[in-house]
């Protein structure tokens, strides 16, 4: 009888714990979806603020899950921060460095999320060639483990007119979603002079060139994604338009 009661108590505790477990990936999606639909998002912000490092590490156990989660979080909080105080964008350096996103027991900046977590501890101003070492525990636990995913540069929206649009990402379909966003954005941003074999494209290719495999890698990407009809001989980069533009959303078609 005693063993039976212990079993019942264990099962009840397991059921309660399962019911109370938060799916933070879904919370991040709901947060961004509510912003896109102009609905209240206070509940989702509060849930993320109460999350722990241990909870996120357990849930985000693959690079795909990590990237989908952090893309949604980054894009959502950019919209929130600049809607609440657009004047912050006048000093963009300070804006991206400011610790403001409460999550995993930490308060993170946009630079933390982009360069430390998603770009695997890369130094921001090094074309992507230099890494940071001796990083804090939260960063080592949350950052991607494998190869750097270059397509995130065409999925992150920093609030500027030249940024890629904001879209909703999922771990289940992330590869197709990133491919769609990269193709659409690069088609919009790239022109090609067949006579000189010169491609003119977005400045992101230049700023983070190591992420793309150098300038040779940029040429290969443009040809592989059929942005240009052949591998360009020369590359030129457009000036980035930092004019503030919020609410620039794009729906990824379900296939």
SS3 of residue 238 by DSSP: coil
Chain length of the chain: 255
pLDDT tens digits, one per residue of 125-175: 999 999 999 999 999 999 999 999 999 999 999 999 999 999 999 999 999
How many CB atoms are located within 10 Å of the residue 238 CB? Answer: 16
Q: Which of 67, 36, 74 has the alpha carbon at shortest distance from 142?
A: 67
Position 10 pLDDT exceeds 50: no
For residue 232, what are the contacts with CB-CB under 8 A and spacing of at least 6? 192, 197, 198, 199, 219, 222, 223
Specify the pLDDT at position 20.
Answer: 65
For residues 41-54, give the mean pLDDT: 98
Rounded CA separation 255/65 (Å): 20
With respect to residue 144, please indicate whether it lies within any of the assigned structural domains.
yes
Give the pLDDT confidence score for residue 240 in this predicted structure.
98
Q: Is residue 195 included in any domain, yes or no?
A: no
Q: For the segment 181-216, what is each residue's pLDDT rounded down to a tens digit?
A: 999 999 999 999 999 999 999 999 999 999 999 999
Top-confidence residue, 101 or 5? 101
Question: Per the domain annotation, does 22 fall within a domain?
Answer: yes
- pLDDT attached to residue 64: 98
What tens digit of pLDDT does each residue of 55-78 get? Answer: 999 999 999 999 999 999 999 999
Under 8 Å between Cβ of 224 and 191: no
Note whether residue 162 is domain-resident.
yes
Q: Looking at the predicted structure, is the pLDDT value of residue 177 above 60? A: yes
Predicted pLDDT of residue 154: 98
**pLDDT per position as a tens digit, 109-135:** 999 999 999 999 999 999 999 999 999
Whether 204 is in a domain gets the answer no
The reply to whether 253 falls in a domain is: no
Task: Examine the pLDDT at 8 and tell me if it is beyond 70.
Answer: no
Mean pLDDT of 205-232: 98
Of 24, 53, 59, nearest to 136 (Cα)? Answer: 53
Tell whether the model's pLDDT for residue 33 goes beyond 80.
yes
Query: Smallest Cα–Cα separation from 87: which of 240, 242, 248, 244?
Result: 244
Residue 11 has pLDDT above 60, yes or no: no
User: Over 50: is that where the pLDDT of 19 sits?
Assistant: no
Domain extent for 77: 2-170
- Measured CA distances, 43 to 25, 126, 128 (Å): 14, 38, 36
Q: What is the pLDDT of residue 153?
A: 98
Q: Residue 229: is it exposed, middle or buried by C-beta count within 10 angstroms (0-12/13-18/19+)? A: exposed
Total structural domains in the chain? 1
Full-model pTM: 0.92
DSSP labels for 41-92?
-HHHHHHHHT--HHHHHHH--SHHHHHHHHHHHHHHHHHHHHHH-GGGGGGH
Domain assignment of residue 158, yes or no: yes
- The pLDDT > 90 percentage for the chain reads 91
Per-chain mean pLDDT for the chain: 93
**Is residue 146 assigned to a domain?**
yes
Q: What is the token pair recorded at 180? A: 């769609």
Q: Measured on CA atoms in the order 157, 159, 163, 164, is the torsion positive or negative?
A: positive
């Amino acid at each position: 009888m005693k063993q039976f009661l212990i079993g019942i108590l264990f099962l009840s505790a397991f059921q309660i714990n399962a019911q109370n477990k938060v799916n933070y990936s879904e919370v991040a999606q709901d947060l961004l979806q509510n912003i896109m639909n102009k609905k209240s998002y206070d509940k989702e912000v509060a849930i993320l603020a109460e999350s722990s490092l241990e909870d996120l590490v357990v849930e985000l156990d693959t690079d795909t899950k990590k990237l989908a989660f952090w893309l949604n979080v980054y894009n959502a909080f950019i919209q929130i921060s600049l809607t609440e105080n657009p004047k912050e964008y006048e000093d963009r350096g300070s804006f991206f460095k400011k610790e403001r996103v409460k999550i995993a027991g930490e308060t993170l900046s946009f630079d933390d999320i982009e360069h430390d977590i998603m770009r695997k501890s890369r130094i921001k101003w090094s074309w992507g060639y230099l890494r940071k070492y001796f990083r804090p525990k939260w960063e080592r636990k949350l950052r991607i483990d494998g190869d750097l995913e270059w397509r995130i540069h065409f999925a992150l929206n920093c609030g500027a007119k030249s940024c890629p649009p904001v879209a909703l990402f999922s771990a289940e379909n992330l590869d197709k979603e990133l491919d769609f966003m990269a193709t659409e954005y690069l088609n919009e941003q790239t022109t090609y002079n067949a006579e000189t074999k010169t491609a003119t494209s977005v400045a992101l290719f230049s700023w983070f060139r190591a992420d793309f495999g150098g300038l040779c890698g940029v040429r290969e990407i443009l040809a592989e994604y059929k942005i240009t009809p052949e591998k360009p001989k020369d590359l030129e980069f457009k000036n980035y338009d930092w004019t503030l533009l919020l609410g620039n959303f794009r729906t990824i078609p379900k296939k």
